Amino acid sequence: MRLLIKDIHKCPIFEGHEKKRQLRLDTHAFQTKLYTAVAKMLTVCAVHGGVGPHFFSERLYNQVCGLQSPPTKIEEIGDHAFREQLIKIHEAMTVTEANSAILEAADSLGMIGALRHVSSLDEKESLVQSAADFFVNGRLQAALNQFIEGFKTLGLLKEMKRHPALFLPLFVNEDIPLQAKDLVTLFKVDFSVQGSNRRAKENRTICFWRDLLIEIEEGECSITLENILEFASGASSVPVVGFPQRPQIHFLHEENRPFPEANTCLIILRLPIHGDYNTFKQHFIDGIVQAPVFGFA
């Protein structure tokens, strides 16, 4: 079911930030009722597997539950060209500048019925707000209705409307700070054979690694846990649907490789072998800090 969620996350009916996805208008998806099919699959994942998408924007979740959302913000508009046009109108300092910007966006505004001459800056703001609301909400209403229909499967929609706060964490991503335990469980350690000299050194290094993560979490170091994750994977947070493959920890037994190294494509973090914690800590932190300059990753 988690693999299914990953595929749904990339579905063409969604757009926007990977952690705050919104519906987008896709005529083919609408004609084939893909919106309903996707909602049904999400329902099955949630009800039978306890697996939620965790990538809905709050607006999309509110729309599904029939809750009122705050006014649309310009940055929520997925179409880059139209968003830039509205920004230019919004930032106009005079009525003349506003009407000039409106004229430039005439084709786009005309298509949604928002094209009009303004005689005050208040009217300008009203035009921008109504255009943004229509683009994000109004033009998607038919697709949204189709999407909502899918959540009626197994009675989930009824329960979501009855207990919206309860289901919110299942659909909307919560920005929870990275913790030491998150990195400990995220990485799979590639140990040498049990009982070998290498394994003994690796066991000691993993103890150093875990102690250092705790220190970093407590704010006692010059780097953050997000810095480590970015060094190893290129991402400062764990993607909502997880990494393509599980991150791994390998070890550097060569004495001429005292700093941590990483392969961000395969997401492999290579830890250096040192005889004591302080030496390991200093070289590890130095390696993370200097990585952008010397390219250790």
Sign of the alpha-carbon torsion through 267, 271, 277, 278? negative
Q: Do 166 and 40 belong to one domain?
A: yes
Domain span including residue 227: 180-294
241 and 5 in contact (C-beta within 8 Å)?
Answer: yes
154 and 44 in contact (C-beta within 8 Å)?
Answer: yes
Q: Do 131 and 147 belong to one domain?
A: no
- Judged by DSSP in three states, 176 sits in coil
Q: Do 149 and 6 belong to one domain?
A: yes
| Digit-coded pLDDT (tens) for 234-272 | 887 777 667 888 999 999 999 999 999 999 999 999 999
Q: Do 35 and 146 belong to one domain?
A: yes
Which of 126, 154, 171 is the C-terminal boundary of a domain?
171
Q: Do 186 and 284 belong to one domain?
A: yes
Q: Do 244 and 211 belong to one domain?
A: yes
What is the Cα–Cα distance from 152 to 36, expressed in whole angstroms? 10
Tally of residues, the chain: 297
| Digit-coded pLDDT (tens) for 100-118 | 999 999 999 998 889 999 9
Q: Do 227 and 112 belong to one domain?
A: no
**Which two three-digit tokens encode residue 74?**
């310009």
**Which range among 69-78, 173-182, 279-288 shows the weakest confidence by mean pLDDT?**
173-182
- The total of structural domains in the chain comes to 3
Give the pLDDT score at 159: 95
What is the Cα–Cα distance from 145 to 270, expressed in whole angstroms? 49
**Which range among 45-49, 81-85, 128-132 shows the weakest confidence by mean pLDDT?**
45-49
| Digit-coded pLDDT (tens) for 120-156 | 999 999 999 999 999 888 889 999 999 999 999 999 9
Q: What DSSP line would sit under 78-128, residue for residue?
A: --HHHHHHHHHHHT-SSHHHHHHHHHHTHHHHHHTT-----SSHHHHHHHH
What is the Cα–Cα distance from 17 to 244, expressed in whole angstroms? 18
